[in-house]
Structure 1
Amino acid sequence: MTEVLFVAAAKPQFGVLADSVRKFNALGARVHLAATFHLESSAEEVAALELAGLHQLPRSIAHRSQALRRKARTAPLGMRVWMQSKRDTWLRDRARRADVMVALDPGAVYTVWRLAQYNRGAAAVFGLAPGMKAVEGLAAQGGSVQRRSVLPPLDAVARDVRRSVDGLPAAVMRTATARPVMRSTVGARLWRTAVTAPGVPTRVRAATSRYVAEGMQWAGRTSGAAIALADAASKIPDLALKAQLLDEGVMKEIAKGLSPRHLGRAVAAQLAHGDREFAAGRVEAAAGALDRALFLGFHRVLHIDQLSSPLAEDAEAFVAPLYRSGAMRALSRPRGRRTPHRKAPSDRPLRLLVTTSANDNFLRHVLDHFGGHPGVELRFLDLAASKHLKRIAWAGRRMLVDRLSDGTSDYQEEVERLFRPYLDWADTVFLDWSVGPAGMLTTIDPGDTRVVVRLHSYEAFTRWPHMTDFSRIDDLVFVAPHVRDLAVSLVPQLRGDGAPRFHIVDNAMDLSGFARPKPAEARFNLGLVGMSQVAKDPRWAVDVLERVRRHDERYRLILVGGDMDPKTSMATREYRREFEKVLAPLEESGAVVRLGPTDDVPSRLPEIGTIISSSVREGCHVGLMEGAASAALPVVRDWPFYAGKPNSARTLYPEGWVVGSPDEAAKRILEATATEETWRDAGKLAAEHALSAWDWPVVRKHFEKLFLEDR
């Protein structure tokens, strides 16, 4: 038996309705009528309808709250009918059971549409003819048809909604934008249309868009939530509010690990707001807007926790809008230094201050060597070890205020007080990592102290280089030419006359300890050292493994290092989830072995016969270099971030190491490991190159030249 629910807000033409009900009954349907018009006044006509059920819906909301009654007085008919009827238990019960729901007049359309959100299996239609078609379809398909909406055009329903938004209590708005509504394509589109309706006051438009975004997000439509906020922002003239709504939309997508579709608009809105505030002399507000623009534009989900980045496509074009901003140009204006740095003393040891903030992973050999060097007096400063220095080293907003106020803020005074004593003592400051501390250090004039900063790779994908005054840095050290190229394309100061001198110096690594005998069975073991970031893309290594195992199932993949931290971002969590899904059957079969994190990488490498770099980007891949030094066969993916550019993995490593695809990787492995002899010969050549190019005795000379050349 097919259950049909009619809803009427006005008296129908009873003759037509009676004829239609008979046809519905002939098809095996049971028809129920719910009406807000006065049924008793038409008792005779209603009795002739042969209905299975009849119900009088509330005809007013006199018993409801004063706020709702006040709203109902100005609400359109469709909304009033729903306000009156939505609490009716008979109506809700019949709607849940209905196979077909029919709005008999325009005033009932909105109520039927709302009821349909709670019974997604029912057909919701407007008019008797569409209702008849729906019942016929049910009969033809054995009682089940896909629900189709034959409601009137969207704008007919939207008019009621738009005109009813202003002044609705928050509870009512949340009900109207609840999860079932927003899961409906019609509902989501309706509300997106409503937030752009002409003539809506700015305050109401903003509030409505936030309710709509909240409902869409609850319904799993994250991008729809962002679109609703962006659509509303496009109709709002107030720059601060426009920027705020676009910001909220972008952050909703970022929080879900998505690359936001309106990122450019959100950054542009913050910049426009910042420029206006800066022009008006409101430096604090301008700094706040600029801070958000940089935060959004260089969010880690866009550039670090994904397998690609806008910077990989065209870095200079990506930052071009940023540097069209007046506030940003003021921020990045080179301030220079009053006097050049003094030459290293010839009558006493060089006073060398090596500093970083917490991350000293690449400094151990530098500190050990120069700590015992007769021509150097060394001090090491970890900024993170002092709460006062740590606070100023990462105070991004305060740095921006200081730059925009032309150095008149209390931040510069604090940096002078806390860091000037170190500058006064040192002949040379070597700062590792070009992040927050580099911005802090270049806030003040370094006097005649030489400033050397090292930029690894990670920093180029952050906002910090854009908050650093490179005209106050004498020497900028890169770990590889392709990183230098990226940084120069991103930061206009590095292309100007006041740019620092550039150096390419490899990371300090003691590779001699990696030369240990490998057993014969290591020939079939592929290895990946380090996979704690999405950029390492270990799935690529698994792809290579599967290809070589099609030829010989003795091949295995050994994973050394900790897993990705799912708390980093949703994008990281999603990558790890997919990776674990791929890995599970391979681990179970023994094709993949996870060794976990270790402080003793040299002891793990003897069992690895092929070392893989599967990353999408690297500075210089230390794990790969260490593996090569252990006489493992190097297989390096042509890092996609840099592939095809003048400097890339192909220019960093010897010819033959770098491959363009998993197929090429598998071919290289199968050919080089075809026999034990060919495998050991390839490993020997790799170790010879690694030790001659990257071992500490070689790289040490470059550091000595960097610090002591002008003595």
Structure 2
Amino acid sequence: MTNVLIVASTLPKQPAVLIEALERFRSRGATVAVACFFDAAELEVDPVLAELRGFVVPAAERDARFRAALGRAPANRKIWLHARRNPWVRRRYRQADLLVALDVRAVHTVWEMAQRNTRAGAHYGLVPAQKALDARRALPPTRRLERQVAATAGIGARGARRLAVQTAKTTLKKATGQTVMGNPAGAWLWTRAVSAPRIPDRYRSKLALRLHASAVRAGQPAVAARASAAAVRRIGSPKTRAQMLTKAAQAELALGRVPTGLHDAIRAQLELADSLLTKNPKQASFAVSNAWSLASNRVLHFDRLTSPMSADPGAFLAPFRESVAARKLSAPRGRVAPAATPPSGRPLRLLVTTLINHNFLQEILQRYESMPNVEVRFLDLYDDPVRRPLALSGSTVMEHLLTGETSYGAKIEEWLRPHLDWADTVFVDWCQATAALFTLHDPGTTRIIVRLHSFEAFNFWPHLVDYSRVDDMVFVSEHLRDLSTAVLPQLTGPDAPRLWVIDNAMDLQRYPRPKPAEARFNLGLVGVSSVAKDPRWAIEVVRKLRERDDRYTLTLIGSNFNNRTSLPAKKYGKQLAKDLAELEPIGAVRRYGQTDDVPAALSEVGVILSTSVRESFHCGLVEGAASGAVPVVRDWPFFADKPHGARTLFPADWVVATPEEAAERILAATATEEQWRQTGQSASDHVLKTWDWTVTQSGFDRLLLDD
């Protein structure tokens, strides 16, 4: 007797066809069972023809593991997951001589059954099953076995490939997960497996990325680096190697970590760029752009309390200085004629230009617009909606610099040449896209001045500027000049521009205002929106003060902390939020918020803080000191061990190294109201005599008006 098991995933649209087939099976002496992935009562079949059973596991009987498996499985595999839990179904498919999938969704389940009962024939559809039954009866036992094997292979061809791929992926995912890579034995095994010979580059790189990500998530960056290095040694394609290392570094950056293989990834991209430089400059520019994207990532420099650029600029930028393609980006191309001296028979034509940010230009524009011997034009490249995109693509600038002539370069020439022809002097604020574009072509006899503030030193844009076409570079402090020359050797070479240190233009006369007596115990911090401002350092100061005197409070002036830039910023923001949740309800901290009237906000502040890890100058601190608040300046860590920094910019008694020192200075300066007012007035006198616009404007006059 032949046992037949039919699996149906849905109620047949034509039950009569099934009943007719069952009658034929019965007439040939077969015993038939129908396993239904629906309510068997919906299908009316004479019990003499077949035994019907439903096999859906009731929801109440599904444990957590089974529910999780169902949630991950595709639709056709869910049928099998239910079937293998049903004792009746298991018994029937083990006894079956023929396994039949009634519909396409049942194919996978029948295939799974055939893998467990290899003597059974497996078929899709009733007609092939009936033919197989007839053939089975006519064949001798040996041929019957061959047919069974062939039938099993036939149905397997429909689903085996997809299942095998899915099974391999699932197995690989589990076998290379963070649990395995966090185990020394597992890490050892996979590090050797990824370096095995004769694995195609694309598969090796994918496996290496998987291992790298798992090891990083397991908190094993050294293991991740070893796995990547092992794979790289076997990858022959420079492009695949660069892509793999770059993706691995990007994955770590996304998790807020400084990649252990950062320089390896940067070097791989630059080596690829160098190899493509002569035969495919466009592809070379993409590789250089990828290298700079890694090196300029904000996680490295802006959303953490340290930066590798500050620690050792030369070491951090070494791969770029070794690369032919990277050096070509800022190679001096010179100018046909030097800048002309200021005209004597007409006003000096001064073009002041920037991109988006003109916060530091108000006093400068007002002064020279009021002078009869100066004609001023202001140009914000962002104001031109049609050409604006030309100023926002660093990779396109790199492509032009490496290829020499592009349609992009022609568009920049068309856009900026009229401004260069009109101006005697161009003052470019911020050493970013505007500076790169104004030096993309020979400026003729027009004098080019560029001012670098701070963040640009950690970005790629200054490396796209042709300094042989820049006459003067302006910095707002000596420590920023020192950092910039360490980052940009072009600023000290034979084609280097003149270097100036000129303080920010600030109208400080509007800040001195009467302060109420209770302001003596109120600390103020202007600007708290970024990690670099490190407002938690200020909170630590107020904690220490309140241990001695709970009258001390902290006012945070400015927009709220921005925690959307990266994962490290988000983590810092969460810690800051916890601090505020603890201290705001008891009145120890209050948020003043964004304001257009900073002098009014500062009139309530008795002590002004600078808690940043880096500053080029810190206008908010100086404005607070001008108001009569006692200045307390953290020795900015980015520059604390350098020749210039907060200690050389400000009076020595303003600067402290730790929150404990800050608290002691504040307690001493605010011991009495008389002491507090005297210390604040002394600070106000100092900043007004040193940094008010009435004093610093002479530096701009020398820069812009003198021969």
TM-score, normalisation: structure 1: 0.74
User: What does 1:445-464 correspond to in 2, within 5 Å?
Assistant: 445-464=442-461
Q: CA deviation at 1:564?
A: 2.4
2:198 partner letter: G
Q: Secondary structure at the match of 1:336?
A: coil
Q: CA deviation at 1:527?
A: 0.8
Gap change, CA 1:218 and 1:670, over 3 Å in 2: closer
1:206 corresponds to 2:201? no
1:313 pairs with one of 311, 324, 329: 311
1:172 partner letter: T
Q: CA deviation at 1:214?
A: 6.7
1:196 corresponds in structure 2 to 195
Q: Secondary structure at the match of 1:691?
A: helix
1:11 corresponds in structure 2 to none
Q: CA deviation at 1:331?
A: 2.1
1:175 corresponds to 2:170? yes
1:269 partner letter: A
Deviates more, 1:610-619 or 1:564-573: 564-573
2:572 partner letter: Y
User: What does 1:328-477 correspond to in 2, within 5 Å?
Assistant: 328-405=326-403, 407-477=404-474
Q: Secondary structure at the match of 2:631?
A: strand
Q: CA deviation at 1:493?
A: 0.8
Mapped to 2, the partners of 1:533 and 1:660 lie a distance apart of 21
* Residues 592-617 of structure 1: per-residue CA shift (max 9 Å, x gap): 11111111111100111000000000
1:184 corresponds to 2:184? no
2:576 corresponds in structure 1 to 579
2:293 corresponds in structure 1 to 295
2:621 corresponds in structure 1 to 624
Mapped to 2, the partners of 1:375 and 1:305 lie a distance apart of 45
Gap change, CA 1:678 and 1:84, over 3 Å in 2: farther
* Residues 189-239 of structure 1: per-residue CA shift (max 9 Å, x gap): 354543233332223212333455677789898997776555433421211
Gap change, CA 1:371 and 1:330, over 3 Å in 2: same
Tell me if structure 1 keeps the 8 A contact 2:201–2:240.
no
Gap change, CA 1:270 and 1:380, over 3 Å in 2: same
1:274 corresponds in structure 2 to 273
Tell me if structure 2 keeps the 8 A contact 1:226–1:249.
no
Runs of 4+ in 1 over 4 A off after TM superposition: 55-59, 62-65, 166-170, 190-193, 210-231
* Residues 234-286 of structure 1: per-residue CA shift (max 9 Å, x gap): 421211100101110111111122111110111010011111111x4210111
* Residues 666-698 of structure 1: per-residue CA shift (max 9 Å, x gap): 111111111111111110010001111111111
User: What does 1:121-200 correspond to in 2, within 5 Å?
Assistant: 171-178=166-173, 182-185=177-180, 189=187, 190-200=189-199
1:668 corresponds in structure 2 to 665
1:52 corresponds in structure 2 to none
1:374 partner letter: P
Gap change, CA 1:640 and 1:218, over 3 Å in 2: closer
Mapped to 2, the partners of 1:307 and 1:333 lie a distance apart of 33
Gap change, CA 1:454 and 1:542, over 3 Å in 2: same
Mapped to 2, the partners of 1:231 and 1:553 lie a distance apart of 58
Gap change, CA 1:251 and 1:168, over 3 Å in 2: farther
2:581 partner letter: A
2:248 corresponds in structure 1 to 249
Tell me if structure 1 keeps the 8 A contact 2:528–2:558.
yes
Q: CA deviation at 1:320?
A: 1.9
Q: CA deviation at 1:500?
A: 0.6
Mapped to 2, the partners of 1:64 and 1:378 lie a distance apart of 88
1:708 corresponds in structure 2 to 705
TM-score, normalisation: structure 2: 0.75
Gap change, CA 1:526 and 1:268, over 3 Å in 2: same
Deviates more, 1:231-240 or 1:294-303: 231-240
Mapped to 1, the partners of 2:229 and 2:383 lie a distance apart of 43
Mapped to 2, the partners of 1:219 and 1:480 lie a distance apart of 43
Q: Secondary structure at the match of 1:184?
A: helix
Mapped to 2, the partners of 1:409 and 1:167 lie a distance apart of 48
Tell me if structure 2 keeps the 8 A contact 1:456–1:479.
yes
Q: CA deviation at 1:644?
A: 2.0
Gap change, CA 1:514 and 1:252, over 3 Å in 2: same
1:324 corresponds to 2:322? yes
Gap change, CA 1:690 and 1:664, over 3 Å in 2: same
Mapped to 1, the partners of 2:230 and 2:531 lie a distance apart of 32
Mapped to 2, the partners of 1:574 and 1:528 lie a distance apart of 21
Q: CA deviation at 1:664?
A: 1.1
Tell me if structure 1 keeps the 8 A contact 2:215–2:223.
yes
1:642 corresponds to 2:628? no
Gap change, CA 1:451 and 1:388, over 3 Å in 2: farther
1:609 corresponds to 2:597? no
Kindly report the root-mean-square deviation, in angstroms, between the aligned alpha carbons of the 2 structures. Answer: 2.9
Gap change, CA 1:669 and 1:211, over 3 Å in 2: closer
Gap change, CA 1:315 and 1:58, over 3 Å in 2: farther
Mapped to 2, the partners of 1:565 and 1:558 lie a distance apart of 18
Mapped to 2, the partners of 1:563 and 1:496 lie a distance apart of 43
1:478 pairs with one of 475, 478, 500: 475
2:293 partner letter: F
1:585 partner letter: E
1:545 corresponds to 2:542? yes
* Residues 366-393 of structure 1: per-residue CA shift (max 9 Å, x gap): 1122122111111111100113442222
* Residues 64-89 of structure 1: per-residue CA shift (max 9 Å, x gap): 99xxxxxxxxxxxxxxx9x979xxxx
Q: Secondary structure at the match of 2:312?
A: helix
Tell me if structure 1 keeps the 8 A contact 2:609–2:631.
yes
1:566 pairs with one of 546, 552, 563: 563
User: What does 1:34-113 correspond to in 2, within 5 Å?
Assistant: none
2:643 partner letter: P
- Percent sequence identity is 47
1:261 corresponds in structure 2 to 260
Q: CA deviation at 1:330?
A: 2.1
Mapped to 1, the partners of 2:275 and 2:163 lie a distance apart of 34
Q: Secondary structure at the match of 1:514?
A: coil
Q: CA deviation at 1:397?
A: 1.5
Gap change, CA 1:58 and 1:562, over 3 Å in 2: farther
2:180 partner letter: T
2:689 pairs with one of 689, 692, 696: 692
Tell me if structure 2 keeps the 8 A contact 1:526–1:555.
yes
Gap change, CA 1:240 and 1:347, over 3 Å in 2: same
Tell me if structure 2 keeps the 8 A contact 1:523–1:610.
yes
Gap change, CA 1:290 and 1:63, over 3 Å in 2: farther
Mapped to 1, the partners of 2:221 and 2:227 lie a distance apart of 10
Mapped to 2, the partners of 1:581 and 1:227 lie a distance apart of 38
Tell me if structure 1 keeps the 8 A contact 2:527–2:557.
yes
Mapped to 2, the partners of 1:324 and 1:233 lie a distance apart of 21
1:682 pairs with one of 679, 683, 689: 679
1:344 partner letter: P
In structure 1, stretches of 5+ residues that fail to align are: 1-54, 66-80, 86-165
1:137 corresponds in structure 2 to none
1:575 partner letter: Y
Please tell me whether Structure 1 or Structure 2 has the larger radius of gyration of its CA atoms: 2
Tell me if structure 2 keeps the 8 A contact 1:177–1:215.
no
* Residues 297-353 of structure 1: per-residue CA shift (max 9 Å, x gap): 121110111100011211122112211111122222211111011111111111111
Q: Secondary structure at the match of 1:454?
A: strand
